Structure 1
Amino acid sequence: MQAEELASRTADAGPNESAGTFAELGVLAETVEALDTLGITSPFPIQAATIPVALSGADVIGQAKTGTGKTLAFGIPVLQRVAGPGRDPGTDEDAAADTAAAALSAPSRRSSRRRRTRTPSAVTGQTPAHGTPQALVVVPTRELAIQVTNDLLSAGKVRAVRVHALYGGRAYEPQIAALRAGIDIAVGTPGRLLDLARQHHLELGSVRTLVLDEADEMLDLGFLPDVERIMAQLPAERQTMLFSATMPGQVISLARRYMNRPTHIRAADPADPGTTVKAIEQFVFRAHSLDKVEMLSRILQAEGRGLTMIFARTKRTVAKIAEELSDRHFAVAAVHGDLGQGAREQALRAFRNGKIDVLVATDVAARGIDVEGVTHVVNFQCPEDEKVYTHRIGRTGRAGNKGTAVTFVDWDEVPRWQLINKALSLPFAEPPELYSTSPQLYADLGIPEGVKGVLPRQERVREGLDAEEIEDLGETGRGRGARSSVKRGAKDGGKDKDTTAKQERARAPRQRTRTRRGVKIAAEDGALDTAGGTTDTAAAVNAAPAAVAKAVAVAEPVAEKAPRKRTRTRKSAAKTAAPKIEYVAEAPAAATATATGEAAAVSNNDGDGDVNAGAVANPKRTRVRSTRTRKSAPAKPVVENTTDTPSPDQ
């Protein structure tokens, strides 16, 4: 009850009206010093409301708008509750003893060989849980895992807290080596955490604090089975914290199954009572699908535009947008699921470092990604629901800064948008129909007059994606590593240019061999080679005259041998066949005369048809067709030698 009262007192307080400093909230001096170096001196409402409750060990459900500091709201209590490798002022002897007892009594799934290595460390202040994580942060995406890890490392660098990211898409060996060396906080995605736990490299029996970041996504049907498997390996006595910007009622009901009397904290600013951040100026336009890229190219040339993120629903659309913007001379990169992890991290690093100013991504980058200097967010396609819309536009207008969000709605997406508009109580029920040449587009977004759909080359000041080196992560999976729709030149495919050149040089060139009457021709100068030898054109040209003469002499006997010729004959059947002798019955003289006359008539045939097609005196005589030839010369009838029976007159 006391925690709930504290939450209700601080939830509606602004950053200036709540606790003035982190020290007043009970944060360690070392953590306050690390935050001061980052320029963070005053807590946000969600931080002021959550940190005292979380430090007491109670379970927390934290809900706040995007860009209001939820990472540090759970990160600071997690850092303070772990026993780092050095002396921890916030952990007394009793707490250390309790931690040691919990670690020794926790069920272990390791083999006996690895269990023998779990001995208390000699480092001052180190608990017997050395090497095993004491806190676990589970996130839905790899990019968010990297970001949360960096934030926790920055806040805990004075205490030297060991934080490591465990996510897929990269080699297992570095992560296994880090686990063997010992980590205090593990930040990872569900798939890789389960893989390492099954291989007995990750010990979860000593985890005292569990955090589900973007909890509504983690408790979705896609992640819920993996999250339940992870929770089954954790101790029953633990602290559980859930944080997200969107927390539907059914998700909260589901979360209470895994929590012990949680405190639900909804932090809000009295000056910003809406569902979205007030600092984000939102525009919704009804646009034709064939004109969206042209409109987008003009928006990217608006006055005061900084870094820009463009979101689309499908990976193919993301790749197509990135390619078209690259052809229009914009410094752009793509982030989607078909890219390898090295290419995805390369694109995000280039975006953070300012080498590119346009990042096209699917919803894989819509949650939790915090990049300083993002001024514009464009929804190239209408989001699926109000939660996706809220997280997309939340990439801008963070930490009190202003931002601009533009959404394109096609005609078939109007009903979906009206549902989103109603759920978020937005004033865009009927978006105006605009095109790339509409004056309203130029006026609303501050686009200078005369701007066209192609960025002039002299106005491009960014180095581009090729200026950012791609890191070799030893990627796992299907080896899709580096398919990107943006033209990368020599870096395409994530392969080294020198390696590719060596492979090309090692391949033997294909040679074409010319022959003349069965004899190979070595070169144009007439050098010949035998049929069983190999031909080297360069050697034949540069050879000495004696060698050439010898080669010709060797080839002469082969050349003198006359090749076998094929002879075609038109009357092969008549020349080669032996005369047939048939004994026929005696026929009258009149019939013999008739047959003789018909044979004479057949002999005058032009040869196009059957030479024996006429009437036949003797039905038992064998007929032989003449062979057809290419030339339509008259064919002679086939003469059949028959032995006539002597007549009675003879």
Structure 2
Amino acid sequence: MTFSDLNIDQDLVDALASHGIVEPFPIQSQTIPLALSGQDIIGQAKTGTGKTFGFGLPLIQRLGLNPEPGVKALVVVPTRELCVQVAEDLTLATANRDTKVVAVYGGKAYEGQVEQLKAGAQIVVGTPGRLLDLAGQRLLSLTNVEVMVLDEADKMLDLGFLPDVEKLFAQTSSTRHTMLFSATMPGPVVALARRFMNRPIHIRATDPDEGLTQANIKHVIYRAHSLDKDEVIARILQAEGRGKTVIFTRTKRAAAKLVEELNDRGFNAAAVHGDLNQEQRERAMAAFKAGKKDILIATDVAARGIDVNDVTHVINHTIPDDHDTYLHRAGRTGRAGKTGIAVTFVDWDDLHKWALINRALDFGQPEPVETYSSSPHLYTDLDIPAGVKGRLKPSPAAPNTEKPPRAEGEERPARSRSRQRTRGGSGSGSGSSGDASAPAATAERSAEGGGAHDGGAPTRRRRTRRRRPSGGAAPAAPQA
């Protein structure tokens, strides 16, 4: 089956074909015909199976070849990274028509986004907070929205965005065409769909005999020591056939530390986490997609915005909090029908979390294998060449501070001494404090430029104080 068989306009088919997208995925072939007819849809499919074009192509086709300026379609997404990704996909599909797409999200200046809205963009992809902000300032009007899509609705729930989504729904017409897409369908999301959708059809694009995890992803679970994780990861990164790799950490600090460690070991890594500003995050993501960086270290903030087809490995530096998060992390690999590997490290303190994930996803691995960087099964499980160490380049050598031994007959170099005044009135090392000739000798050496200042270096004037005789009379001044 092709997209033409699904009655998609030829200019859209050609735009997709120019990027090698020819055959629709199951979720696309099931949702596109219904969406073209204006049917409200709840689409449920695993991450990485093509939901964006499942709603995007009918949305674009409904607006026509030359839509009038103004917002006609709204796609609401939970994260900035996903916002950028969806907008890029829709822009790709509209390459051969006049439809304009704008991405609206926080962390970026308002001006550029407002300019695109004023220029007549017809499709808006945005995060709830920025959308409400612009609507509140009357810079964005949703009254003429004909199609509204809620993407990754379960993540909206996790991030507490459902109240904001309800406010957005309230600003649109009740006659709009509504589509909701998500990988999982918790109760509050179903309740939202019942409230704002008109007799939706629920489509599940999964095989009933297939498990919750994708069959084309190999899952490897290790119980690892926190002090050995960096070394284990560095060896995994040298596995046969490893392409782009995403490493997930629990905290921003751990992500920043790991990217520094891997770069020091000679790898080419970038990071995406909450301590970076939006420009830095977008720059890192762009470098990863372009292949300038082949390792991306991220917190869960980026889990749903990484849509890169050639990610071969996903590594969970720390175990996710629940099975849904695990699925979304692992879903960054094995996309578009390709195979992938997901490696998860379980700390001793997190075994209870793994027990819940193992039970929910039916892995059948209640006890992860205890694994160290030297464990033989690490090499065989992940096709790591024998003898690989966790560093691509040697550590910078410490500077040699030892002085070479002096050759026989070589003179000892002159040493500079700092002389301190003593209560006896003479500099330390200039002679005995009771030596009456010491001041004169000191003056004589200073006049000749010798002593500690040999070589013509400037000398420091020193004052000498003579002790008065016991009779109390001051000594007579010397005669000229």
TM-score by structure 1 length?
Answer: 0.59
Does residue 395 (structure 1) correspond to residue 395 (structure 2)? The answer is no
Pair 1:247 & 2:228 matched: no
Greater relative contact order structure (CA < 8 Å, 6+ sep): 2
Residue number among 34, 40, 43 corresponding to 1:53 in the alignment? 34
CA distance in 2 between counterparts of 1:219 and 1:135 reads 22
- Supply the distance in 2 between the matched residues of 1:281 and 1:226 (Cα, whole angstroms): 37
| Other-structure match for 2:80 | 142
- Shift of residue 425, structure 1, vs aligned partner: 1.0
Matching residue of 2:422 = none
Residue 445 in structure 1 maps to residue 382 in structure 2 = yes
Aligned residue for 1:38? 19
CA distance in 2, matches of 1:219, 1:290: 35
What per-residue deviation string (whole Å, max 9, x for no partner) do you get for residues 397-432 of structure 1?
A: 011111110000011111111101111111221111
Q: Are 1:301 and 1:455, in contact at CA under 8 Å, matched by a contact in 2?
A: no
Amino acid at match of 2:361: L
What runs of 5+ residues in structure 1 fail to find an aligned partner?
1-19, 87-125, 459-650
1:250-288 residue CA offsets vs partner (Å, 9 max, x unmatched): 422332222111110001247x71211111111000011
Contact 2:81 2:304 in 1 (8 A): no
- Equivalent position amino acid for 1:69 in 2: G
CA–CA separation in structure 1 for the residues paired with 2:159 and 2:238: 41
* Matching residue within 282, 288, 297 for 1:351: 288
Between the aligned partners of 2:22 and 2:16, the Cα distance in structure 1 is: 7
Per-residue deviation, 1:220? 4.0
Distance of 1:369 and 1:376 partners within structure 2: 13
Distance 1:415 1:160 in 2: 54
Contact 2:265 2:394 (8 Å CA) reproduced: no
Q: 2:356 aligns with which of 419, 437, 445?
A: 419
For the pair 1:321 / 2:258, whether they are aligned, the reply is: yes
Q: Distance in 1 between matches of 2:2 and 2:385?
A: 44
2:313 is aligned, of 376, 389, 392, to: 376
1:69 to 50, 58, 64: 50
Give the aligned residue type for 2:382. L
1:172 deviates by: 0.9
Deviation (angstroms), 1:249? 4.0
Separation of aligned partners in 2, 1:305 and 1:439? 19
1:197 aligns with 2:135: yes
SS of the residue corresponding to residue 337 of structure 2 reads coil
The residue type equivalent to 1:56 in the other structure is S
Give the direction of change, closer, same or farther, for the CA distance of 1:48–1:243 in structure 2 (3 Å limit).
Answer: same
Matches of 1:396 and 1:260, distance apart in 2: 35
Q: Does the aligned pair in 2 maintain the 1:281–1:403 contact within 8 Å? A: yes
Task: Select 1:184's aligned residue among 102, 122, 126.
Answer: 122
Deviation (angstroms), 1:68: 1.1
SS of residue in 1 equivalent to 2:42: strand
Shift of 1:83: 3.7
Partners of 2:246 and 2:297 within 8 A in 1: yes
Per the alignment, residue 98 of structure 2 pairs with: 160
Are 1:82 and 2:63 matched, yes or no? yes
For 1:170, the equivalent position in structure 2 comes to 108
Which SS does the other structure have where 1:81 is aligned? helix
Is the CA contact (8 Å cut-off) linking 2:311 and 2:333 kept in structure 1?
A: yes
- Secondary structure in 1 matching 2:39: coil
CA distance in 1, matches of 2:122, 2:137: 19
Counterpart mapping for 1:527-538 below 5 A: none
Q: Which runs of 5+ in 2 are unaligned?
A: 396-480
Percent identical? 61
How far did 1:248 drift? 2.5
Q: Choose 1 or 2 for highest CA Rg.
A: 1
- AA matched with 1:238: R
Superposition pairs of residues 190-589 of structure 1, within 5 angstroms: 190-220=128-158, 222-269=160-207, 273-456=210-393
* Whole-angstrom CA distance in 2 between matches of 1:418 and 1:385: 10
Contact persistence 1:58–1:262 (CA under 8 A): yes
Q: Distance in 1 between matches of 2:237 and 2:78?
A: 30
Contact between 1:299 and 1:447, CA under 8 Å: does it hold in 2? yes
2:4 to 7, 12, 23: 23
Distance 2:276 2:159 in 1: 25
2:254 partner letter: T
Task: Tell me, in whole angstroms, the C-alpha distance in 2 between the residues paired with 1:206 and 1:434.
Answer: 58
C-alpha distance in structure 2 between counterparts of 1:302 and 1:36, whole Å: 33
Q: Per-residue deviation at 1:153?
A: 0.8
Deviation per residue, 1:589-640 (Å, 9 max, x gap) = xxxxxxxxxxxxxxxxxxxxxxxxxxxxxxxxxxxxxxxxxxxxxxxxxxxx
Is the 1:211–1:242 contact (alpha carbons within 8 Å) kept by the matching residues of 2?
A: yes
Q: Distance in 2 between matches of 1:26 and 1:448?
A: 49
The answer to which of 378-387 and 221-230 deviates more is 221-230
Aligned alpha-carbon RMSD (Å):
1.5
The Cα of 1:140 is off from its aligned counterpart by: 0.8
Letter in 1 for 2:169: M
CA distance in 2, matches of 1:437, 1:221: 40
CA offsets 1:353-385 (integer angstroms, 9 cap, x no match):
111111100011111421132100000001010
Q: TM-score, normalised by structure 2?
A: 0.80
Tell me the amino acid that sits aligned with residue 355 of structure 2: Q
1:457 to 1:234, Cα distance in 2 relative to 1, 3 A = farther
Deviations 1:35-93 (A, max 9, x none): 22121221111001000111111111101112211110000011011145x3xxxxxxx
Within 2, Cα distance between the matches of 1:386 and 1:192?
A: 29
| C-alpha contact (below 8 Å) 1:21/1:41 kept by paired residues | yes
Contact 2:223 2:369 (C-alpha < 8 Å) held by counterparts: yes
Whole-angstrom CA distance in 1 between matches of 2:80 and 2:370: 38
Aligned to 1:612: none
Kindly state the Cα deviation for residue 160 of structure 1 after the two structures are TM-superposed: 2.4
CA distance, structure 1, for counterparts of residue 90 and residue 243 of structure 2: 27
